[in-house]
Amino acid sequence: MNIRLTVTLVGLGLFLAAIPVLAVPEEAAEAKIGRARNVLMTPDAGREAIAKALAEVLDASLLILPKTDYAEEFRSRVGTVKKMFDDGALFEDKARQYLGLAYKMVSGGKSWEVPAELKSSYREVDIMERGKRICAALLDSALAEHKAGRRESAVRDLISFVIFVITPVEA
């Protein structure tokens, strides 16, 4: 009787000890997204800070990526882009191509497009401010999707955010 009770208590203790470990990726992803949002809302964020923020967003996308048949290829493409960012290649065509293919995987085959707000013939005077609002909206949407359990949509918004930041938009 004592052995059963001891085994049960040890099992329960191990289970309870594992709960915070299981929750860490979720919290880590949200923290990474939050830090990236803070960097982008900073008026004078430098290139290095932006590169780090983009890498954190890519890390967050990998943390919340659901298990799918394309997950390995997605991870490979995102890993290649992260390496490019580490090497200082933020605005390379190859990075956009790899992320574009990753985006297609999480968007049901749809290609990434420049947000409609930036395609209109009428543009606000401060296009950078509009871009920051779009970035914040993408990150906020990713967090909301993630919290709602729609992980693939959250990953799509995160990848869309990174592509948006590294894609030149004509003024």
DSSP string, the chain: -HHHHHHHHHHHHHHHHHHHHHHHHHHHHHHHHHHHHHHHHSTT--HHHHHHHHHHHHHHHHHHPPP-TTHHHHHHHHHHHHHHHHTT--S-HHHHHHHHHHHHHHTTTPPP---GGGTSS---S-HHHHHHHHHHHHHHHHHHHHHTT-HHHHHHHHHHHHHHHHS----
| Burial group, residue 120, by CB count within 10 angstroms (0-12, 13-18, 19+) | exposed
Q: How far is CA 95 from CA 28, 146, 165, in A?
A: 24, 25, 12
- At residue 3 the predicted structure's pLDDT band, cuts being 50, 70 and 90, is low
pTM of the model: 0.80
Residue 41's Cβ-side half-sphere holds a number of Cα atoms within 13 Å equal to 11
The residue type at 124: E
- pLDDT digit string, tens, across residues 26-59: 578 899 998 988 888 887 778 888 888 999 999 9
The domain locations on the chain are 47-117+128-171
**Mean pLDDT across the chain, nearest whole number?**
82
Give 18's pLDDT tier (boundaries 50, 70, 90).
Answer: very low
